[in-house]
Structure 1
Amino acid sequence: MMGENYLFTGFPGFICNQLIREILQKRPEAGMVYVLVQPAMKRKAKEEVSKIARDTVRSKEKFRIIEGDITKPGLGIKQGETEELKQTITHVFHLAAIYDLAVPEDIARKVNVEGTANVNVWVKTLHNIKRYIYFSTAYVAGRREGKLLEKELIRPAEFKNFYEETKYEAEVLVEELKKDIPTTIIRPGIVKGHSKTGETIKFDGPYFIMNFLERLRFLPIIPRLGNSDAIINLVPIDYIISATAYLSFLDKGAGKTYHLTDPSPYTVSEIYEMIMKQLIDKTPTGTLPLSMARVSLSVSAVRRMLGVEKEALDYFTWKGRFDCSQASEDLEGSGISCPDFREGLEAMAGFYMKNKNNPEYQVKIN
Structure 2
Amino acid sequence: MNIFMTGATGFLGGRLARELIHRGHTLCVLARTPEKVEAMFSRDERRSITVLAGDLTAPFLGADERFITDHDRSFDLVLHMAALVKFDEELREELFETNLTGTRQALALAKALHCPRFFHVSTAYTLGAREVGDETLYATDQTFHNPYEESKAHAEQAVWAERDHLDVSIFRPAIIVGDSKTGEADSKFTMYGYMRALEVFKRRLEHRGAPDGPIRLLGSETGTSNLVPVDYVADVLLAAIEHAKPDTIYNVTNDAPPRNVTMLDYMKQALAFPHLKITETATSSLSQAEQTFNEMVKVFNPYLNRDIAFDDANTKRLLQDAGFKPLDLNERSLRRIVNAYYETK
Question: Following the alignment from structure 1 to structure 2, what is the Cα–Cα distance between the partners of residues 328 and 256?
Answer: 13
2:18 counterpart (16, 21, 36): 21
Q: Indicate how the Cα distance of structure 1 residues 278 and 298 shifts in structure 2: closer, same or farther if over 3 A, else same.
A: closer
Percent of residue pairs identical: 24
1:328 counterpart (302, 316, 320): 316
| 1:341, distance to aligned residue in structure 2 (A) | 4.9
Matched, 1:35 2:5: no
Which deviates further from its counterpart, 162-171 or 337-346?
337-346
Residue 198 of structure 1: aligned partner: 183
Question: Following the alignment from structure 1 to structure 2, what is the Cα–Cα distance between the partners of residues 322 and 95?
Answer: 21
2:192 counterpart (196, 207, 219): 207
Question: Following the alignment from structure 2 to structure 1, what is the Cα–Cα distance between the partners of residues 286 and 122?
Answer: 28
- Number of residues of Structure 1 aligned to a counterpart in Structure 2: 335
1:238 counterpart (213, 220, 231): 231
Matched, 1:259 2:247: no
Matched, 1:354 2:340: no
Residue 361 of structure 1: aligned partner: none
1:111-153 deviation line (CA, Å, top 9, x unaligned) = 11111111111111223x24211110000011122x2211242
1:297-321 deviation line (CA, Å, top 9, x unaligned) = 999xx46xx9944311233444432
State the SS of the aligned residue for 1:223. strand
1:34-58 deviation line (CA, Å, top 9, x unaligned) = 11111xx222122123x2x44xxx5
Question: Following the alignment from structure 2 to structure 1, what is the Cα–Cα distance between the partners of residues 63 and 285?
Answer: 46
Q: Indicate how the Cα distance of structure 1 residues 242 and 296 shifts in structure 2: closer, same or farther if over 3 A, else same.
A: farther
State the SS of the aligned residue for 1:87. coil
Mapping 1:272-351, distance limit 5 Å: 272-280=264-272, 282=274, 284=276, 287=279, 289=281, 291=283, 302=292, 308-332=296-320, 334-351=323-340
Would you say the 8 A contact 1:42–1:67 is kept in 2?
yes
Would you say the 8 A contact 1:279–1:349 is kept in 2?
no
| 1:353, distance to aligned residue in structure 2 (A) | 1.8
1:313-337 deviation line (CA, Å, top 9, x unaligned) = 2334444321112111221252332
Residue 44 of structure 1: aligned partner: 36
Q: Indicate how the Cα distance of structure 1 residues 229 and 132 shifts in structure 2: closer, same or farther if over 3 A, else same.
A: same
Question: Following the alignment from structure 1 to structure 2, what is the Cα–Cα distance between the partners of residues 294 and 44?
Answer: 45
Would you say the 8 A contact 1:6–1:92 is kept in 2?
yes
Question: Following the alignment from structure 1 to structure 2, what is the Cα–Cα distance between the partners of residues 287 and 274?
Answer: 17
Structure 1: which 5+ runs fail to align?
Answer: 357-366
Question: Following the alignment from structure 1 to structure 2, what is the Cα–Cα distance between the partners of residues 315 and 290?
Answer: 19
| 1:194, distance to aligned residue in structure 2 (A) | 0.9
Q: Indicate how the Cα distance of structure 1 residues 295 and 237 shifts in structure 2: closer, same or farther if over 3 A, else same.
A: farther
2:8 counterpart (7, 11, 14): 11
Would you say the 8 A contact 1:7–1:91 is kept in 2?
yes
Letter in 1 for 2:102: G
| 1:191, distance to aligned residue in structure 2 (A) | 0.6
Letter in 1 for 2:337: M
Q: Indicate how the Cα distance of structure 1 residues 78 and 298 shifts in structure 2: closer, same or farther if over 3 A, else same.
A: farther
Question: Following the alignment from structure 2 to structure 1, what is the Cα–Cα distance between the partners of residues 105 and 287?
Answer: 40
What is the RMSD of the two structures over their aligned residues, measured on CA atoms?
A: 2.8
TM-score by length of 2: 0.87
Letter in 2 for 1:36: L
